[in-house]
Structure 1
């Protein structure tokens, strides 16, 4: 969003004039420029962390296999802890978008304040718990050898970044809700650039910096996360000062337990949904490993490409979430429905283009990752499942975004759990019993995606998700 449209711009903006509502109507129209204006910066935010992790791996990798293994185990633990709390971004977006659409910008930013308090509280608790259990957890995953020692060393430092990661999630959430995805991109990139520079300096002691080796990687992570979190908090304080310049208005920085409870209810459903995904993909990795090194390596290559596709499609889902939430907050149910189907068509077409590109590159793309003939042979088994489900994923991701924007997290939770239990998990474990190999695993993923597509298409067509109003209501009672 251009700076002239940022949240809490002036007293006229905060009072919600007719002109402001007309401007919001234009914002929520969902034309190509508007969608791309939201989706492209969101894609940058989503891609920043994986790209930095690649650099971190490359820098630490020059220390040797032991340090790299320690980073892998420690990073896995921290990632599992933080990724279960994405409700701080997605849930906050849903709640803030409705308020923003209704012209209640102060309340939309207030959602960010309360989400930030939750982030700090949950993050502090995570630091304490992980410090207490770092040794047992790393030994459980890596065994009792040197890898566990290195992983514990990294994790004990890196976990201090947990509250900062969560603050950035909350900041992304409320800024997306007020249709500003450009500022979060700047904040996240600033932190990642600082981490990247410090990682090179502190791991290897470059340019007179101390050589801290693996610990330097953890310190660099925390430093960058600190900068991003400070920028997000500073943005909240700026909005408060701007709003407070008008007598009788303002954004309270005090914790509001009622708002935080409502955010946690939405978060509960999103966490359960996330756990279903984790169970599926961890099961897939476990079963693939039973088929030998070539199978698990091929599965990892294709899965990483799938994660890239998912990342790209998720940026369109974020645009859907933001625009649909605002339309419902403004009371435009029919407009929200039109947006839902328009964004779904966009996503499906884009996913189909990606599928055609990967189909054309079937003989070339896997060789960019490995030249092992056995791995390439196994990758060819999974490849056409991977290509075939992309158009399906385009529909699923877009409508996930629509329903998240509507606050229909209870339905998404139930549908994801049911599709996992009926489709993905039975086929994955059957592939182990009947020796179906990667074909069974990726058939399970295909069935999972098709079932999810049918579920979200049915829900969207029913219209039961499209409930107008500025305050996000629990959707589970609506069926």
Structure 2
């Protein structure tokens, strides 16, 4: 009997994790394709799109973290077989998402040029970048609700619909880039504006697909349009209480990463280029961790809703093992073939050599990242969003930033030591996540 239960849990984990991994892989690939096509234009266009996209997606990721609260609450109600309450929570979360996206989108459109004026002095990049940002912020009216809608689907146990949405939207984005950037099939050659229209259009299309599934109600949860802007103070407060720490955690991580990049740029052009390339290569390795974190969040929430703590614990243990095995395999590749991997990203041998050393250090952090992401997902699924935020606060402010500042400005060591600093951060983060999880308070959280 126990063996059958373990097999059922394993199958459920992979059923949730694999589509989530594929979805995140698609997002990474479309970004790579986007930059490859823009890269055929000129340096000003490349800088404009790169900076504009970073601004746009950093903001949307921060506020899209509101979906964490929705995932935890929906999964808990689905586990308790209270579908009506899950659907009411979903409607309330979507309503919050539309309000926030309207505010963010409007502010983004109005302040696009001002933002670029603060960052740069190059008039051409400012002009192109502000134009790009205004257009993609139209898509932002739909992007945050899309992220929250997908979070609701994952909470209900459906990771396939977000994958379908991402696949169609990203295919549209890539085709749109090709047609509009270069003026193919009778369309005008729009360059940077074409890239922005393709990206914004893809966001709108993705939202249409996700919401079509939600409204039809054949994907686990049905969205009732009449309830989207019907305020329920208790639900509103619960969603905000759970989501704000997750939002602050994302803000902390994104801000720390951005500040670290500014500091790292002081080490020189070759060092920063090597750092950027190694980051691009390593980003692919995060996919398994992300997928199993999604699976753990959903399964812990549903198991606690069904009052089955043992199933929740087994789910966490198995997710940690599976994600560690996959990311451990990636670590082995990083250790054995770093130079060959980095040669795929650049022809500059000096940059490749330095990036290879960074990638070899990245191997050290793979398993700690797998552990941290899976356990963080478990805590969030249980409704403990404050724990991961507090841990993020500690590891960024007390570990990552002080170490990198010391390496860059005081010791003036090379970029490889910056990667050792981030490895230490992830090791500390994994340890603190395990400690938080082992205390067991997550088992009794009521949401």
Normalised TM-score (structure 2): 0.92
Deviations 1:119-141 (A, max 9, x none): 21111101221122111101112
2:288 paired with 1:312: yes
Change in Cα spacing, 1:30 to 1:64, as seen in structure 2 (3 Å) is: farther
Indicate the residue corresponding to 1:4 in structure 2: none
CA distance in 2, matches of 1:208, 1:271: 43
Match of 1:274 among 233, 250, 258: 250
The runs of at least 4 consecutive aligned structure 1 residues that moved more than 6 Å come to: 26-29, 240-244
The farther-off stretch of 321-330 and 385-394 is 385-394
Q: Which residue of 1 aligns with 2:419?
A: 442
How far off is 1:253 after superposition? 4.0
Preserved CA contact (<8 Å) 1:98 1:326: yes
Verify: 1:293 aligned to 2:266, yes or no: no
Q: Distance in 2 between matches of 1:251 and 1:283?
A: 43
Q: For the residues of structure 1 that align with 2:359 and 2:106, how far apart are their CA atoms?
A: 43
2:85 counterpart of 1:107? yes
Tell me, in whole angstroms, the C-alpha distance in 2 between the residues paired with 1:84 and 1:242: 26
Residue ranges of structure 2 left out of the alignment (5+ in a row): none
Give the conservation status (yes or no) of the 8 Å contact 1:119–1:163: no
Larger Rg: 1
1:438 and 1:68, CA in 2 relative to 1: closer, same or farther beyond 3 A? closer
Per the alignment, residue 46 of structure 1 pairs with 24
Contact persistence 2:320–2:370 (CA under 8 A): yes
Give the equivalent residue in structure 2 for 1:476: none
Matches within 5 A, 1:363-374: 363-374=339-350
1:303 corresponds in structure 2 to 279
Q: CA RMSD in A?
A: 2.4
Please say if 1:232 is aligned against 2:207.
no
Stretches of structure 1 that go unaligned for 5 or more consecutive residues are: 1-25, 474-479
Structure 1 residues 340-419: aligned runs within 5 Å: 340-419=316-395
Task: Name the CA distance, whole Å, in 1 between partners of 2:5 and 2:281.
Answer: 33
Indicate if the aligned counterparts of 1:110 and 1:252 stay in contact, CA closer than 8 A: yes
Within the alignment, does 1:456 sit opposite 2:433 as a pair? Answer: yes
Q: Which moved more, 1:179-188 or 1:343-352?
A: 343-352
In the TM superposition, what whole-angstrom CA distance separates every residue of 1:34-54 from its partner, at most 9, and x where no partner exists?
Answer: 222111111122222222222
Contact 2:91–2:228 (8 Å) recurs in 1: yes
Q: 1:242 to 1:463 in 2, by over 3 A?
A: closer
Counterpart residue number, 1:255: 230
d(CA) in 2 for partners of 1:367, 1:250: 51
Which of the residues 126, 138, 142 maps onto 2:120?
142
Q: Give 1:27 shift.
A: 9.4
**1:251-295 deviations in whole A, cap 9, x for unaligned?**
844422422332222221012211221233223212221111111
Selected match of 1:125 from 103, 107, 128 = 103
Checking the alignment, whether the CA contact within 8 Å between 2:161 and 2:210 is kept in structure 1 is no
Q: Report how many residues are paired.
A: 441
Q: Do the aligned partners of residues 440 and 127 (structure 1) sit closer, same or farther apart at CA in structure 2, a change above 3 Å counting?
A: same
* Distance in 1 (alpha carbons) for counterparts of 2:77 and 2:8: 18
Write the deviation string for residues 65-118 of structure 1: whole angstroms up to 9, x where unpaired: 222222112212211211112323333211111111110122223322222111
Match of 2:300 among 304, 324, 328: 324
The structural deviation recorded for 1:30 is 5.5
User: CA–CA distance in 2 between the matches of 1:242 and 1:395?
Assistant: 29
Aligned counterpart in structure 1 of residue 53 of structure 2, from 72, 75, 90: 75
SS at match of 1:313: helix
1:154 matched to 2:129: no
In structure 2, relative to structure 1, the CA distance for the partners of 1:28 and 1:141 (3 Å cut) is farther
Residue 169 of structure 1 deviates from its aligned partner by 0.5
